[in-house]
């Protein structure tokens, strides 16, 4: 499997959209690939980052990248007492299934979802996020998806206006009935 990293322009746009929410947040990166978005979240002040990637070789790359970022954030270059991160080598929907180990990690303030685009996983994974209570009240589920084939917004979610960056579109989703977060 080859990871398709998020383009630098999209990374910057997403981080700018979420800037006021990143400091101290709990970030979940589903289908994380090399972990570039999780690394960005750590660099911008996330307190805890959890990344999930089904390909164990790619997950190992994400783990190494996050460890390097965490070390770089420490004055002495160590990983001690820095921001917390975990990388799980698992398929996202299966990882989100109810279970005591994973449930101890919830809820998350920001959940980033960028699955392999042809797989059609945005809607089913969003359903698993909602069903499992993974998103904190007022939190956001952030989709990166292909501009030419946006998935339908699933039941129970409300989308802010989409933002297009060439071939990628970013959607910020909130759960219906939850407190509305400030718009970025």
- pLDDT tens-place string over residues 34-78: 999 999 999 999 999 999 999 999 999 999 999 999 888 877 655
Query: What is the Cα–Cα distance from 16 to 13, expressed in whole angstroms?
Result: 5
Neighbouring C-beta atoms of residue 74, cutoff 10 Å:
13
- Vertex 1: Cα angle to 79 and 90 (nearest 5): 55
pLDDT per position as a tens digit, 97-151:
876 556 677 799 999 999 998 889 999 999 999 999 999 999 999 999 999 988 8
The pair of three-digit structure tokens given for residue 138, joined into one six-digit string: 């007022």
Instruction: Tell me which of 31 and 177 has the higher pLDDT.
Output: 31
Architecture of domain 8-146+165-175: 3-Layer(aba) Sandwich (3.40)
Classify 114 as helix, strand or coil: coil
Nearest Cα to 95, choosing from 135, 66, 54, 38?
Answer: 54
pLDDT at 80 over 80: no
Query: What is the Cα–Cα distance from 132 to 99, expressed in whole angstroms?
Result: 10
Nearest-10 crossing angle of helices 56-72, 36-43: 20
Instruction: Tell me which of 95 and 2 has the higher pLDDT.
Output: 95
Query: What is the Cα–Cα distance from 55 to 32, expressed in whole angstroms?
Result: 10
Whole-model pTM: value is 0.90
Tokens 């759960």 locate to: 175
Most confident residue range from 4-18, 31-45, 98-112, 165-179 = 31-45
pLDDT at 91 over 50: yes
pLDDT for the residue 35? 95
Nearest Cα to 137, choosing from 113, 106, 114, 99?
Answer: 106
- For 40-105, the DSSP string reads HHHHTT-SEEEEEESSHHHHHHHHHHHHHHHHHTSTTS--TTS-EEEEEES-HHHHHSS-HHHHTT
Query: What is the Cα–Cα distance from 2 to 184, expressed in whole angstroms?
Result: 32
What's the rounded mean pLDDT across residues 144-162? 92
Query: What is the Cα–Cα distance from 126 to 31, expressed in whole angstroms?
Result: 12
pLDDT for the residue 99? 67
Q: What is the CA radius of gyration of the chain?
A: 15
Query: What is the Cα–Cα distance from 32 to 34, expressed in whole angstroms?
Result: 6
């Amino acid at each position: 499997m080859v990871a398709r990293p998020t383009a630098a322009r999209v990374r910057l746009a997403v981080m700018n959209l979420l800037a006021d929410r990143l400091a101290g947040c709990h970030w979940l990166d589903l289908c994380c690939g090399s972990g570039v978005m999780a690394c960005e979240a750590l660099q911008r002040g996330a307190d805890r980052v959890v990344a999930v990637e089904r390909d164990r070789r790619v997950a190992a790359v994400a783990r190494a990248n996050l460890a390097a970022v965490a070390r770089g954030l420490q004055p002495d270059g160590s990983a001690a007492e820095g921001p917390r991160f975990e990388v799980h080598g698992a398929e996202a929907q299966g990882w989100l299934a109810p279970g005591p180990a994973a449930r101890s990690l919830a809820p998350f303030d920001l959940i980033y979802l960028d699955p392999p685009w042809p797989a059609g996983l945005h809607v089913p994974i969003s359903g698993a996020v909602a069903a499992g209570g993974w998103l904190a009240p007022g939190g956001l589920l952030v989709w990166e998806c292909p501009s030419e084939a946006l998935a339908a917004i699933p039941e129970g979610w409300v989308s802010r206006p989409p933002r297009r960056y060439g071939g990628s579109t970013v959607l910020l989703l909130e759960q219906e009935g939850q407190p509305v977060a400030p718009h970025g």
